[in-house]
């Protein structure tokens, strides 16, 4: 069982004392509930019985060395991968399935797409659409998928570009932007669908060191605005600054799930201590 390393039932109880600046934050009802999720690629078991709950406005950082299953977990939540067992509920959907008379039926492509609209995803390699301009990247899904009026969506897209600090780039093509700028556009593109959860898959790993902070600043702003976020990252500074919980994955299991203070100063798992010592020795 992967949950026995979890701390107290109320992991946020001491947060107000230790981090008064964030003490005002109130977490709402669960938005993502992951139960006993399993996933294998062939013989390679990438996720073994993973369970966790993320509440509204909560920011959870997932770390772990490569191959620990953290990116796969994120991709399973967004149904970019199908799961082999367990349950993922996100933004009110039973992801990837429909329950009829106690039986689970896998959803069809267009039904999965409908669920995915409520989740935003940011990728390591940005994956902006290179053939259209920045503003069209942001407007594509709201106008073409939701069929909303262009003028209204364009106003929102411009507001989003201003929010990520790139108001002057609306007519640029992705190739004309730096990595950090592209990633900020990618965040704006995801936000344009007004998602209930934002998933970040190593959003700064492909960036030049000097542009990492401009992306992290946008993410921190987002967390202050109350966005529910699951962030796979090695940026421990971000974890300290913005996370409500830090999770360590190892060998496809969750081995530590604690508030940042506890995670960094008094980790319960041997794996966490090893992980932290390697991060610090960089």
Partner 1 sequence: MNWSWPFFFDYITNGLMMRGAWTTVWLSVVSMVLGLGLGIVAALMKMYGNALLRYIAEFYIWLFRGTPILIQLIIIYTGLPQLGIRLTVIESAILGLALNEGAYLAEIIRAGIMSVDKGQDDAARSVGMRWTQRMRFVILPQATRTIIPPLGNQFNGMLKTTSLASVISMEELMRSAQMLAQINFRVLEVYSVAALWYLLLVTIWSAIQVRIEAHYEKPFGPAAAVSPEAEKELKKALQQAGTAKI
Segment interacting with partner 1 (CB under 8 A) among 44-52, 130-138, 230-238, 265-273:
130-138
Minimum CB separation from partner 1 for residue 2, in Å?
26
- Residue 163: phi, psi to the nearest 5? -65, -35
Binding flag, residue 6, partner 1 (CB under 8 A): no
Minimum CB separation from partner 1 for residue 49, in Å?
25
- Our CB check for partner 1 shows the closer of 165 and 251 to be 165
- Residue 110: phi, psi to the nearest 5? -75, -25
The residue with tokens 């390697």 is 278
Query: How many chain residues interact with partner 1 (CB under 8 A)?
Result: 41
Q: Is 227 helix (H, G, I), strand (E, B) or coil?
A: coil
Report the site for partner 1 in 72-91 (rule: CB under 8 A). 75, 78-80
Minimum CB separation from partner 1 for residue 167, in Å?
14
Q: Which residues contact 96 (CB under 8 A, 6 or more apart)?
A: 79, 82, 83, 88, 106, 107, 112, 115
**Alpha helices by DSSP H, the chain:** 15-18, 70-77, 109-116, 134-140, 150-163, 179-191, 209-224, 236-242, 260-265, 270-280
Binding flag, residue 189, partner 1 (CB under 8 A): yes
Eight-class DSSP state of 233:
-
Report the site for partner 1 in 219-238 (rule: CB under 8 A). none
Site string for partner 1, 103-122 (x = CB under 8 A): ------xx-xxxxxxxxxx-
Most distant CA pair in the chain, distance:
55
Candidate list 8, 18, 125, 265; residue touching partner 1; CB under 8 A: 125
Minimum CB separation from partner 1 for residue 73, in Å?
15
256 contacts 271 by C-beta, under 8 angstroms: yes
CA dist., res. 263 & res. 240, Å (int): 10
Report the site for partner 1 in 131-160 (rule: CB under 8 A). 131-133, 140-141, 144-145
Binding site for partner 1 (CB under 8 A): 75, 78-80, 109-110, 112-121, 123, 125, 127-133, 140-141, 144-145, 172-178, 186, 189-190, 192-193
């Amino acid at each position: 069982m992967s949950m026995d390393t979890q701390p107290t039932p109320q992991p946020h109880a001491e947060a107000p004392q230790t981090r008064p600046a964030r003490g005002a934050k109130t977490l709402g009802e669960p938005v993502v509930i992951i139960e006993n999720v399993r996933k294998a690629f062939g013989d390679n078991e990438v996720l073994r019985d993973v369970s966790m709950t993320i509440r509204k406005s909560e920011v959870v950082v997932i770390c772990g060395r490569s191959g620990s299953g953290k990116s796969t977990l994120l991709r399973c939540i967004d149904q970019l991968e199908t799961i082999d067992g367990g349950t993922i509920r996100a933004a009110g959907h039973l992801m990837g399935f429909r329950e009829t008379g106690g039986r689970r039926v896998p959803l069809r492509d267009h039904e999965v797409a409908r669920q995915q609209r409520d989740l935003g995803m940011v990728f390591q390699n940005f994956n902006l659409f290179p053939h259209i301009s920045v503003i069209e990247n942001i407007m594509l899904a709201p106008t073409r998928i939701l069929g909303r009026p262009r003028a209204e969506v364009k106003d929102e897209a411009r507001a989003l570009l201003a929010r990520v600090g790139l108001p002057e780039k609306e007519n640029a093509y992705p190739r004309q932007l730096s990595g950090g700028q592209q990633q900020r556009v990618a965040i704006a593109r995801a936000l344009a669908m007004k998602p209930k959860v934002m998933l970040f898959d190593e959003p700064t790993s492909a960036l030049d060191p000097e542009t990492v902070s401009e992306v992290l600043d946008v993410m921190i702003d987002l967390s202050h605005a109350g966005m529910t976020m699951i962030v796979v990252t090695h940026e421990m500074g971000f974890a300290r600054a913005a996370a409500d919980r830090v999770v360590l994955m190892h060998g496809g299991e969750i081995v530590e799930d604690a508030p940042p203070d506890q995670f960094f100063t008094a980790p319960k798992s041997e794996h966490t201590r090893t992980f932290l010592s390697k991060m610090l020795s960089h």
